[in-house]
Amino acid sequence: MTIEISLPDEFLEFFKGSREKLTLINRLILAIDLYLEEKVSLSKAAELSDLDLENFILELSKRNIRRKTGYMSVEDVKKEMAEFGKFLK
C-alpha cells in the first residue's frame, strides 16, 4: 500500500533533500507508535519499520523509549532469541 503525505518542502531540508530518508523515518515513527499503543509486537514493529530487530531496539533506545515487558508471543521470543543468538557465537 502506498500513502501520500503532503508536507512543506522545508521538511526535506532536515533530510538533506532525500525523500528516501524521509520515507524511512516516517515508517519508523509509525512503527514505534503502533508498538507503543500495543497494536503490534516488537518484532512486527521492527518489520514494519524495515529494520531488523536489533536496529529497531536501538532506535527505541535513542529515543529513550523503554521496551515493553510482559507478554511476548512465541514468534517474538523466537525472533529475539535468533537475533541475539548471533552475538553469542
Is residue 67 domain-resident? yes
54-60 contacts, C-beta under 8 A, 24 or more apart: 54/83, 54/84, 56/31, 59/28, 59/32, 60/32
Query: What is the dihedral angle through the alpha carbons of 44, 81, 66, 32, rounded to the nearest 10 degrees?
Result: -20
Is residue 3 domain-resident? no
Per the structure, the count of domains in the chain is: 1
Is residue 29 domain-resident? yes
- What residue has cell string 531496539? 57
Is residue 1 domain-resident? no
Is residue 20 domain-resident? yes
**H-helix or E-strand containing 37?**
none
pLDDT at residue 35 in the model: 92
84 has a pLDDT exceeding 80? no
pLDDT at residue 32 in the model: 95
Is residue 15 domain-resident? yes
- What are 17-63's pLDDT values in tens digits? 788 888 888 899 999 999 999 898 888 999 999 999 889 999 999 99
Residue 63 sits in which domain range? Answer: 10-85
Q: What pLDDT band is residue 72 in, cutting at 50, 70 and 90?
A: low
Structure pTM?
0.70
